[in-house]
Structures are given as C-alpha cells and as structure tokens.
C-alpha cells in the first residue's frame, strides 16, 4: 500500500485509523471504557500487525453514543444494548423505502396497550 492509498482510506468511516489511546482521548474517556465496550461486544476493534486495537470513525460514533448513555446513569451493558437497537432501527429505516401513500396502518397489526397498574398493586 502506498501513501496515496492510505490517505484515500482516511475518508472511509470503516477504516481503523485510531489507536486506543487516541480514540479514548477523542471521546474524553478511558481506555478501560473502550475495553468494556469491546467486552460487551458493542464494538470490535481491528488489530494492527503488532496486536494493538485500532478504531474506525464509525466505531467512535457508536462509542460516543454509549458514553452519553453511561454518563446519564445507564449501566454499560444496557447502554450497549440500546445503542445496538438504535443502530438496527436506523438500518431498517434506511433500507425500507417510504411509500408516501398516506394510507393508515392496518388495524390487524396495531399494538394495543393495557393500562398500567399503580406499583402498589403488584404483589411481591
């Protein structure tokens, strides 16, 4: 790979351009937090030839969203699950074309919600 090839790949969101230390610095977090995201399988950094973790811009955006949730008090495992579901929803919305027909949803598939009981009604 030539230097020209490397520069062209920096525009690629999936190119693992950032070391763990640089990624943690950019996110304002610790390397341990990034390791925790890896253990929770939210992001899986690629490894350099020397075995060092390398992160892409896409992975940094995912990690930043997880950090927002954790900073709000969400446990790391729950934050990871939320981010995964948000990402899946975004993918589904992107690949599902909007028909723009203005048709109402089919009532056979409507989700009905039951009224919530006050918490004092629940038995232990």
* pLDDT, tens digit only, all 124 positions of the chain: 454 556 667 678 889 999 999 999 999 999 999 999 999 999 999 998 999 999 999 999 999 999 999 999 999 999 999 999 998 998 888 887 665 555 555 555 554 445 444 444 444 4
pLDDT, residue 12, reads 84
- The pLDDT of residue 10 is 67
Q: What is the pLDDT of residue 29?
A: 95
Residues in the chain: 124
Q: How many CA atoms lie within 13 A of 42 on its CB side?
A: 28
Q: The tokens of 92 are what?
A: 């589904």
Residue 124 has a pLDDT of: 42
Task: Look at residues 68, 70, 86 and name the one whose alpha carbon lies nearest to residue 78.
Answer: 70
b/e sequence 3-41, b meaning 16+ C-beta within 10 Å: eeeeeeeeeeeebbbbbbeebbeebebeeebbebbbebe
Residue 2 to residues 6, 7, 32, 36: CA-CA distances in angstroms? Answer: 7, 9, 33, 34
């Amino acid at each position: 790979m030539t230097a020209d090839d490397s520069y062209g790949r920096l525009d690629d969101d999936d190119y693992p351009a950032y070391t763990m230390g640089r990624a943690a610095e950019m996110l304002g977090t610790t390397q341990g937090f990034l390791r925790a995201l890896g253990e929770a399988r939210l992001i899986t950094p690629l490894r350099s030839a020397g075995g060092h973790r390398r992160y892409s811009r896409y992975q940094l955006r995912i990690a930043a969203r997880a950090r927002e949730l954790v900073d709000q008090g969400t446990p790391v495992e729950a934050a990871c699950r939320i981010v995964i579901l948000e990402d899946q929803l975004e993918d589904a919305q992107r690949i599902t074309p909007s028909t723009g027909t203005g048709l109402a949803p089919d009532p056979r598939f409507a989700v009905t919600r039951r009224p919530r009981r006050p918490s004092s009604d629940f038995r232990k």
